[in-house]
Chain A
């Protein structure tokens, strides 16, 4: 069935709520209003106000109360109206949720999800890509889908997982990306990368919106006879190192792309793993394409200058393949 990325996420949540009465939703304006992006439109009517809770603007209380409910056998799905606002609940996620399994051996099955990313002319506070913070936090799983089918399957897997999951939905993909999505129950296990384009000359490792930038760049350089492989890692934690290494061993070249800023981004981690475990296969230095180290700005000209794009990726592919 053809669905947008946004519809696919909503479909996964709806099916899980029908299947498992322990699941409830909580967030700001998710009930009557259906969410700022209308992802939970119709949920209040179907599931009622006990399972679709409009909360005060209190990210720490929302995430904290969800942790408490998860400790008590529920499986909350928390919406951050924009993923940027997770900073207001950061302590709950990182300090409490991320350490509970380790300290108490008790599961905290919850998903904190919301729209992240730029390219839509928002501003520094509605555009951030903060996934690397959580990959660095310990005890949190981090999911960044790029396609509609993955968005559905990874959401279902996240909701069934016994660990806290931070689920980054790219707002620029919500309605732009549409694809065939399996109907009914569909699970994509966490920690499995997906080779979205087969190629011989160079591997691009990407996730989220960067996968689409990489696909466009690959089409561009294909005209010049450069055959690019693209690995969508899909989840940062768990990280499917093996699929990445396998691709690099085949193509001998690696470029990592993410929309988040360069310094201390997850690309650095991937580069280090490749250098550590596939060094002898490399014919070129591992390159990274990422955002300029700045907040995501408002004006379109500035935003385009800060965020990565397919032209920069194509140039980096050419450079890497010239070795």
Chain B
């Protein structure tokens, strides 16, 4: 596994990284609470333990020119790209005012103005789409890096193979991050793939590939930044495997009793948020007390956003009956 000593990340930027990770952490924690209270429905998919990946990777992009295709566990990236808490809560809780009008939820959010294009539940399906987004700009002579994600489970879907090969052939500025969080729902790595590292596959596509510690936000950031620079130089796509642990079930209905307790304990010691607070504290960048202050402030904003969202009504029922097409066709009931 590639390890790299991080140097030269300015203190202000390190505090920003922590802030985004705390936002992701508190958002997920809030969603778990809302689910238990019966206020959030559908699938609640947390990224607890994976915050360093979504935040570190998205921060490596240029938000004014690149584009993000996050998965359902990449809320951190939404924050990095400027999504407001209010809009995310309206979307997750399916309330009036959600940009998706209540048609979809569970992190499948798109906000073209912010250069965010969401996901569908069919894993791997958005990877060729992300490649095509960059291809369109390549035709115009513009390099737009598309960053997208897949899990260790989703990486076994056929469309992932097609998309990576296609991106490599056309040297597209695509970065695929495989978040290897050890389990695909209940299925462990050992029943998903037989290669040593998922990034080994990069060689077969003729692209750059690397496996890194996904719990260290600065390693993630540095590695992604290198991939972004490679893409900008016209050197094509990159495959980055980030090794982490899914600290909750597949979604909140799942008690994940199939995961050995010791494994969770082992990974809990490597918690990306807590470890980063310790590191910033030790480095004199931000004290733990200041970090807790930051967390309290975020939590307060979170609670306000939740209250505002829950005060909103459900979307009007008629929303379900319109916009199937951009140009209406007289759809039937």
Cα A190 to Cα B165 in complex, Å, equals: 36
Per-residue interface assignment for chain B, residues 310 to 333, with 1 indicating a CB less than 8 Å from any chain A CB and 0 otherwise = 000000000000011111011000
- Asked if A101 and B130 sit within 8 Å, CB to CB, the answer is no
The contact of A50 among B137, B139, B159, by CB within 8 Å, is: B139
- Asked if A161 and B139 sit within 8 Å, CB to CB, the answer is no
**Given A60-B128, A68-B130, A68-B131, A102 and B110 contact (CB-CB distance below 8 Å):** no
Chain A residues near B101 (CB-CB < 8 A): 105
Stretch of B112-120, B189-197, B236-244 that contacts chain A: B112-120
**Given A55-B166, A107-B326, A139-B324, A96 and B125 contact (CB-CB distance below 8 Å):** yes
The contact of B323 among A95, A105, A190, by CB within 8 Å, is: A105
Stretch of A71-79, A112-120, A194-202, A214-222 that contacts chain B: A71-79
Give A178-198 interface residues, CB cut-off 8 Å to B.
190-191
Cα A67 to Cα B159 in complex, Å, equals: 14
Chain B residues near A50 (CB-CB < 8 A): 139
- Asked if B324 and A65 sit within 8 Å, CB to CB, the answer is no
**Given A102-B103, A102-B324, A162-B327, A64 and B112 contact (CB-CB distance below 8 Å):** no
- Asked if B118 and A104 sit within 8 Å, CB to CB, the answer is yes
Check B136 for interface membership: any CB of A closer than 8 A.
yes
Per-residue interface assignment for chain A, residues 127 to 153, with 1 indicating a CB less than 8 Å from any chain B CB and 0 otherwise = 000000000001101000000000000
- Asked if B136 and A73 sit within 8 Å, CB to CB, the answer is yes
Cα A50 to Cα B133 in complex, Å, equals: 15
- Asked if A92 and B166 sit within 8 Å, CB to CB, the answer is no
- Asked if B103 and A65 sit within 8 Å, CB to CB, the answer is no
Give B33-79 interface residues, CB cut-off 8 Å to A.
none
Chain A residues near B327 (CB-CB < 8 A): 161-163
- Asked if B136 and A139 sit within 8 Å, CB to CB, the answer is no
The contact of A106 among B110, B137, B324, by CB within 8 Å, is: B110
Check B227 for interface membership: any CB of A closer than 8 A.
no
The contact of B324 among A101, A161, A239, by CB within 8 Å, is: A101
Cα A92 to Cα B330 in complex, Å, equals: 24
- Asked if A95 and B128 sit within 8 Å, CB to CB, the answer is no
Chain A residues near B169 (CB-CB < 8 A): 56
Cα A234 to Cα B213 in complex, Å, equals: 56
Per-residue interface assignment for chain A, residues 143 to 176, with 1 indicating a CB less than 8 Å from any chain B CB and 0 otherwise = 0000000000000000001110000000000000
Give B278-323 interface residues, CB cut-off 8 Å to A.
323
The contact of A58 among B130, B133, B165, B330, by CB within 8 Å, is: B165
**Given A58-B162, A139-B325, A162-B326, A103 and B135 contact (CB-CB distance below 8 Å):** no
Check B259 for interface membership: any CB of A closer than 8 A.
no
Give A31-54 interface residues, CB cut-off 8 Å to B.
50-51
- Asked if B135 and A65 sit within 8 Å, CB to CB, the answer is yes
Most buried by B among A62, A70, A102, A161: A102
Check B126 for interface membership: any CB of A closer than 8 A.
yes
Per-residue interface assignment for chain B, residues 223 to 255, with 1 indicating a CB less than 8 Å from any chain A CB and 0 otherwise = 000000000000000000000000000000000
The contact of B325 among A55, A68, A101, A103, by CB within 8 Å, is: A101
Chain B residues near A62 (CB-CB < 8 A): 128, 166
Check A294 for interface membership: any CB of B closer than 8 A.
no
Chain B residues near A72 (CB-CB < 8 A): 132-133, 136-137, 144
The contact of A67 among B99, B104, B129, B326, by CB within 8 Å, is: B129
Per-residue interface assignment for chain B, residues 138 to 174, with 1 indicating a CB less than 8 Å from any chain A CB and 0 otherwise = 0100001010000000000011001101100100000
- Asked if A141 and B166 sit within 8 Å, CB to CB, the answer is no
Check B217 for interface membership: any CB of A closer than 8 A.
no
Check B90 for interface membership: any CB of A closer than 8 A.
no
The contact of B163 among A64, A163, A190, by CB within 8 Å, is: A64
Per-residue interface assignment for chain B, residues 245 to 284, with 1 indicating a CB less than 8 Å from any chain A CB and 0 otherwise = 0000000000000000000000000000000000000000
Q: Which residue of A lies closest to B137 (CB)?
A: A72
Check B5 for interface membership: any CB of A closer than 8 A.
no
In the complex, what's the smallest C-beta–C-beta distance from A303 to chain B, in angstroms? 31
Q: Which residue of A lies closest to B146 (CB)?
A: A68
Ordered by A's residue number, 7 sampled pairs between the chains whose C-beta atoms are within 8 Å are: A60-B159, A64-B132, A69-B133, A101-B323, A163-B325, A163-B327, A238-B330
Closest 8 CB pairs of A and B: A68-B132, A64-B128, A65-B132, A238-B329, A61-B162, A72-B136, A69-B136, A58-B162
Question: Contact residues of B with A, CB < 8 Å?
Answer: 99-101, 103-104, 108, 110, 112, 117-118, 120, 122, 125-137, 139, 144, 146, 158-159, 162-163, 165-166, 169, 323-327, 329-330
Can you add 12 more A-B contacts, CB < 8 Å, to A60-B163, A64-B127? Answer: A61-B131, A63-B128, A64-B128, A65-B131, A65-B166, A68-B129, A69-B133, A91-B125, A103-B104, A105-B101, A107-B326, A163-B327
